């Protein structure tokens, strides 16, 4: 399975009044890391939008498990992997680490989405897209 990695330095603006990362920042990073995972597979969003009849990969479910806080000045790494493929959906797992210590786990379910007239609907993920992650 393809895993992408992104290093982030925790800035003062990422933190709340207690000096720890304000939890919505994790979800912003996880979203960026999902797109980075597609880029690592050679499929940046600009290419996907140009080559496939789809409108995106919206998130339909997300959650996180917080093990330890991240604080100002920490340098952390996020490892992202697609851990399950469905017909039109897939699950991404993010692991935020400080060195080898697991701080946060993030989970997303996303759907390959196309336009159906005025509506949006899930569609099968193309085999050639899926194959780049295996």
Q: Where are the domains of the chain?
A: 3-131
Rounded CA gap, 44 and 62, in Å? Answer: 22
What pLDDT does 70 receive?
A: 96
The pLDDT value given to residue 53 = 85
Q: What is the DSSP string of 66-96?
A: E-S--BTT-EEEEEEEEEEE-SSEEEEEEEE
**pLDDT at residue 7 above 90?**
yes
Catalytic residues: 16
- Tell me the pLDDT tens digit for each residue of 35-82: 999 999 999 999 999 999 899 999 999 999 999 999 999 999 999 999
Residue 134 has pLDDT above 90, yes or no: no
- Given a cut of 90, is residue 110 above it in pLDDT? yes
C-alpha 131, offset from chain centre: 18
Q: Which CATH class is domain 3-131?
A: alpha beta
Residue 97's pLDDT is what?
98
Mean pLDDT score of the chain, rounded to an integer?
96
């Amino acid at each position: 399975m393809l895993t992408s990695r992104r290093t982030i330095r925790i800035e003062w603006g990422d933190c709340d009044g207690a000096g720890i990362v304000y939890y919505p920042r994790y979800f912003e990073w996880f979203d960026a890391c999902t797109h980075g995972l597609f880029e690592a597979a050679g499929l940046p969003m600009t290419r996907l939008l140009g080559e496939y009849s789809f409108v995106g990969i919206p998130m339909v479910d997300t959650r996180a498990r917080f093990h330890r806080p991240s604080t100002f000045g920490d340098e952390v790494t996020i490892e992202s992997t697609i851990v399950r493929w469905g017909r039109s959906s897939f699950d991404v797992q993010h692991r935020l680490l400080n060195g080898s210590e697991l701080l946060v786990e993030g989970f997303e379910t996303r759907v390959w989405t196309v336009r159906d007239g005025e509506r949006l609907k899930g569609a099968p993920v193309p085999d050639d897209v899926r194959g780049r992650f295996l």
